[in-house]
Structure 1
Amino acid sequence: MTRPLRLVAVSGGLQRPSRSAALAEHLLDLIAEEVPCEQRLVELGQLAPQLAGAVWRSQLPDTVERELAAVERADVLVVATPVFRGSYTGLFKHFFDFIDQDALVDKPVLLAATGGSERHALVIDHQLRPLFSFFQARTLPLGVYATDKDFFDYRLRDEALIARAGLAVQRALPLVELARHAKPSPIEEVLAA
């Protein structure tokens, strides 16, 4: 692959600023320090009014379609969502309901979540990992979970969390490198046309 890696993050945060978006951006930056890439952050809170009421992808406006296409064409995904009632947000799920079910096959996905306390840390393994298993994506081995106290002014401040984010990226790099050199899948070739 001669082009830069297409690195896309999806934040399920509903507000701006958002801790989930801040965590996603931190992870994007860590990957970008290691691999030449084009970064893109999709903030679902900004798309919410345009997603509301849509049942079919054909009902979505072009702005949402562009973000869906960016996710489908990504070489690597970072997903981050706030925990809402023990799971990802409904808006996060609604967005991914529009993703072509074959578009994420074998795509590396780094999972992250934010919540009010440590009680919801298992959301990564019990909610996010099964969702991306449906897509046959390659969920990366180490997820990143952050609580409200890990941030100051919407920036990561907890040294242990910063170290875990760095370790998650380091452990992800072998799969990221494979993604850099992979031939486009048949679905990617169709999407690129």
Structure 2
Amino acid sequence: MKLVVVTAGLTQPSSTRLLADRLAEAAVRRLAGHEPDVRVIELRELAGDVANAFVTGFPNARLRAELDAVTEADGLVAVTPIFSGSYSGLFKSFFDVLDNTALAGKPVLVAATGGTARHSLALEHALRPLFAYLRAVVVPTAVYAAAEDWGGGQDAFTDGLGERVERAAGELADLLLHRAPAAAEPVREVVPFEEQLAALRPKR
């Protein structure tokens, strides 16, 4: 099982990366016994590659490897900082260069960080619609972490954030463990209209 974490934090250390790590750790705990292979993609390190892909129309080898990892993943954790009430430009650009069928049917946990809780609705107004457009299966619980949620500093967070992390990770794990191919439509016998009509007539 492959779990890919995409984080768009711009600083180092980054609260966005920290939240991404906590979500991945919680998901791995929920997937105990299945030993998921976790891969973290730091978009900060790919900024130039993403820009070049827009200009040339082709991703270079390093970016192609990360795009392939997302495409081949069984599940995705996507975390972005919130700027001006929406996801970062780098975050959006990465998913713009991804093939638009790569996330179809794939379970995705979305999360974001910001300086104030006032921007938490960006998860529902920006991130969820983006991944719905890409036909991903977004888990019900989205996780937002404001500055005040890191109650114990960069190494700990408040109980409220911890509960949201665990709930969202559990939902992602459930999708990964129970997802099954869509059942094929049953083949139905075509009954001529005359026979259908005759069946409705009262018998004498």
When the two structures are superposed, what TM-score results if normalisation uses the length of structure 1? 0.85
CA–CA distance in 1 between the matches of 2:55 and 2:24?
30
Match of 1:131 in 2: 130
Match of 1:25 in 2: 21
For residues 7-29 of structure 1, the C-alpha deviation after alignment (integer angstroms, 9 at most, x for no partner) is: 00111111221111111111111
Match of 1:7 in 2: 3
Match of 2:167 in 1: 167
Aligned-pair Cα RMSD in Å: 1.8
Find the structure with the greater CA-based Rg.
2
Aligned pairs for 1:30-179 (under 5 A) are 30-35=26-31, 36-55=35-54, 58-151=57-150, 152-179=152-179
CA–CA distance in 1 between the matches of 2:64 and 2:156?
31
Q: Secondary structure at the match of 1:64?
A: helix
Cα deviation for residue 97 of structure 1 reads 0.4
Q: Secondary structure at the match of 1:79?
A: strand
2:134 maps to a residue whose letter is F
**5+ unaligned residues in a row in structure 2: which ranges?**
183-204
Q: Is the 8 A contact 1:13 1:45 kept in 2?
A: yes
Match of 2:187 in 1: none
CA–CA distance in 2 between the matches of 1:145 and 1:118?
8
When the two structures are superposed, what TM-score results if normalisation uses the length of structure 2? 0.81
CA–CA distance in 1 between the matches of 2:119 and 2:37?
32
Give the aligned length: 178
**5+ unaligned residues in a row in structure 1: which ranges?**
184-193
Q: Is the 8 A contact 1:9 1:28 kept in 2?
A: yes
Q: Is the 8 A contact 1:141 1:172 kept in 2?
A: no
CA–CA distance in 1 between the matches of 2:113 and 2:106?
23
For residues 14-48 of structure 1, the C-alpha deviation after alignment (integer angstroms, 9 at most, x for no partner) is: 12211111111111111111212000111111111
Match of 1:191 in 2: none
